[in-house]
């Protein structure tokens, strides 16, 4: 801990990679663009997986597993899809010492291979809906990579569903968007805006793409999950048909939706501070760390005994707790280390606490005396649980206030230019791809989404750039 972390406000990007490596969330690998997710980062991903998987199953989905490799010809079947993904493909040309007759691509996403299987499995309306999710790795060849945010290989889940009607597919698409928003806000304490992507920003092959967008600590936007209504595009490309109740052959309506290890980047960038990570208690691999404090050998044995009892008591109460009883480090060093690693609560136990049958709880989200309280051992489990809830709420509230403070409603193009330097700009827009492209060129801000929750466009509202009648309001921001 001798070296200091980069300052978050001075160089956000350096701070970000610093924190990841120092907190041992991830590391660079010798393979260009691929990262290693270290145990602490992977434990965070496991917590994300559990929270999402529970929600998927509660909404009737089942997990399955489809092949990593996809024949090159499959990707070509949906024209927008192939155009969108071609530049990013990793291609296997040799297997078992032989050149392959047809090259295989490593899945960048699995619509193609899953579409093929659905066409085999789905025969009748009785087989619908098909509600399947897959947890897996995907590969998209990236030129510029950044840990968690953009890596050549990443981990994600991809849901793929097939339905009898457009309405059911649209309902599913929005249901899963809601699941993502609920997860992001309740579990990750990351406030999100649910919106629709513009035509230029949607998924290659989708009818409509919905997303959740969040504001990072440097006021840039991060797309945190997407949910696509694929219409009948993939059903037609892969011949996914069913016999309806009148015994007539119909194409299915399909959806897909995904969330990736990128969300770990959001958690780091939304909540982190100059001391390091601040993990939301509901996802934190370690919710509380016990740090024993002593000088003499006699103190040591008394304090450690109480620390071990406290560990057991809290574990029995269902808290994810760790006792840091390493001899080779001082308490002060440990305080810094666990602050860097974002553990929500530190439990300090010293000789005086042993004597008075109490502990000191220190919150990660409130520095100094303000964040400290002394709690009798008898009330510890309940007090800690309440404190963890409090911290969870507080992180969410801080992030929402930060976003609100940096959200603007520019009246004209000059104001928009200034606004996107500072945060999110909610602006009226004519709906044309041309204006979108000009805005991006001139301000480096992209159309993040058209928020679902918006008032009808008032009479006379005009596009912030071209002055033509506004179609709707969109959020423009610089983004990851």
Provide the binding-site residues for a copy of itself, judged by CB under 8 A: 27, 29-31, 34-39, 41-43, 45-46, 62-71, 74, 86-97, 103-104, 106, 113, 116-117, 120-121, 126, 132, 136-137, 139, 141-143, 152-153, 155, 328
C-alpha 41/C-alpha 18 separation (Å) is: 14
CB count, 10 Å around CB of 460?
7
The dihedrals phi and psi of 328, each to the nearest 5 degrees, come to -80, 0
Report, in Å, the least distance between residue 127 CB and a copy of itself.
12
- Smaller CB distance to a copy of itself: residue 90 or 360? 90
Return the bridge partners of 372, or none.
362
Report, in Å, the least distance between residue 31 CB and a copy of itself.
5
**CA 310: distance to chain centroid?**
33
448: CB partners within 8 A, 6+ apart:
193, 195, 211, 213, 221, 223, 424, 474, 475, 476, 477, 479
- Which letter does DSSP use for residue 342 in this model? T
Report, in Å, the least distance between residue 141 CB and a copy of itself.
3
CB count, 10 Å around CB of 70?
22
CB count, 10 Å around CB of 141?
17
- Smaller CB distance to a copy of itself: residue 106 or 477? 106
Return the bridge partners of 287, or none.
none
CB 428 within 8 A of CB 464: yes
Report, in Å, the least distance between residue 331 CB and a copy of itself.
18
Quick check: bond before 113 cis, omega within 30?
no
- Smaller CB distance to a copy of itself: residue 62 or 418? 62
DSSP-derived secondary structure for 203-250: -TT-SEEEEEEEE-TTS-EEEEEEEEE-TTHHHHHHT-EEE-TTS-EE
Pairing of strands 321-323, 288-292: parallel
| The two structure tokens encoding residue 373 | 């309280």
Among residues 241, 211, 233, 244, the alpha carbon closest in space to that of 83 is found at 233
Report, in Å, the least distance between residue 237 CB and a copy of itself.
14
Pairing of strands 372-376, 358-363: antiparallel
The dihedrals phi and psi of 329, each to the nearest 5 degrees, come to -125, 150
Report, in Å, the least distance between residue 420 CB and a copy of itself.
30
C-alpha 254/C-alpha 233 separation (Å) is: 8
- Smaller CB distance to a copy of itself: residue 130 or 416? 130
Q: Residue 461: enclosing H or E segment and its boundaries?
A: none
- Smaller CB distance to a copy of itself: residue 94 or 369? 94
Report, in Å, the least distance between residue 52 CB and a copy of itself.
14
Report, in Å, the least distance between residue 88 CB and a copy of itself.
6
- Smaller CB distance to a copy of itself: residue 121 or 166? 121
- Smaller CB distance to a copy of itself: residue 328 or 441? 328
- Smaller CB distance to a copy of itself: residue 125 or 480? 125
Report, in Å, the least distance between residue 183 CB and a copy of itself.
20
Longest dimension (CA), the chain: 85
- Smaller CB distance to a copy of itself: residue 45 or 396? 45
| The two structure tokens encoding residue 256 | 């897909």
Report, in Å, the least distance between residue 61 CB and a copy of itself.
9
Report, in Å, the least distance between residue 129 CB and a copy of itself.
13
- Smaller CB distance to a copy of itself: residue 67 or 332? 67
- Smaller CB distance to a copy of itself: residue 158 or 213? 158
| The two structure tokens encoding residue 65 | 């597993």
């Amino acid at each position: 801990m001798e070296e200091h972390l980069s300052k978050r406000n001075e160089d956000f990007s350096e701070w970000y990679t610093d924190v990841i490596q120092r907190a041992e969330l991830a590391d660079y690998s010798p393979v260009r663009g691929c990262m290693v997710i270290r145990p602490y980062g992977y434990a965070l991903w496991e917590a994300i997986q559990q929270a999402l998987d529970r929600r998927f199953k509660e909404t009737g989905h089942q997990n399955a597993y489809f092949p990593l490799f996809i024949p090159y010809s499959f990707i070509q079947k949906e024209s927008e899809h192939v155009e969108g993904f071609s530049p990013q493909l990793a291609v296997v040309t040799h297997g078992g010492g032989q050149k392959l007759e047809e090259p295989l691509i490593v899945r960048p996403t699995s619509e193609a291979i899953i579409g093929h299987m659905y066409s085999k499995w789905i025969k009748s309306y009785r087989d619908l809906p098909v509600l399947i999710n897959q947890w897996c790795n995907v590969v998209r060849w990236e030129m510029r990579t950044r840990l968690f945010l953009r890596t050549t290989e990443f981990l994600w889940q991809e849901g793929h569903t097939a339905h009898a009607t457009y309405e059911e597919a649209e309902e599913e698409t929005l249901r899963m968007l809601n699941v993502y928003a609920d997860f992001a806000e309740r579990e990750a304490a990351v406030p999100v805006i649910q919106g629709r992507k513009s035509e230029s920003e949607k998924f290659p092959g989708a009818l409509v793409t919905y997303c959740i967008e969040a504001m990072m600590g440097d006021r840039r936007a991060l797309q945190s999950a997407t949910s696509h209504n694929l219409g009948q595009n993939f059903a037609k490309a892969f011949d996914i048909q069913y016999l309806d109740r009148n015994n007539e052959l119909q194409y299915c309506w399909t959806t897909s939706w995904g969330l990736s290890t990128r969300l770990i980047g959001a958690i780091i960038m939304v909540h982190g501070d100059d001391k390091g990570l601040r993990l939301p208690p509901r996802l934190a691999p370690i919710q509380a760390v016990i740090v024993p404090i002593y000088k003499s050998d006699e103190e040591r044995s008394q304090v450690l005994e109480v620390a071990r009892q406290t560990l057991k008591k809290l574990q029995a109460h269902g808290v994810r707790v760790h006792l840091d009883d390493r001899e080779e480090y001082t308490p002060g060093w440990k305080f810094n280390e666990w602050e860097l690693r974002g553990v929500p609560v530190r439990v300090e136990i010293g000789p005086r606490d042993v004597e008075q049958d109490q502990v000191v709880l220190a919150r990660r989200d409130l520095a100094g005396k303000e964040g400290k309280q002394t709690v009798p051992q008898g009330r510890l489990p309940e007090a800690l649980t309440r404190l963890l809830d409090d911290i969870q709420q507080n992180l969410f509230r801080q992030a929402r206030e930060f976003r609100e403070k940096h959200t603007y409603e520019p009246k004209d193009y000059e104001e928009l230019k200034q606004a996107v330097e500072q945060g999110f700009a909610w602006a009226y827009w004519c709906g044309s791809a041309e204006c979108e492209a000009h805005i991006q060129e001139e301000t480096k801000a992209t159309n993040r989404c058209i928020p679902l929750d918006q008032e009808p466009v008032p009479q006379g509202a005009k596009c912030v750039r071209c002055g033509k009648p506004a179609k709707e309001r969109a959020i423009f921001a610089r983004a990851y």
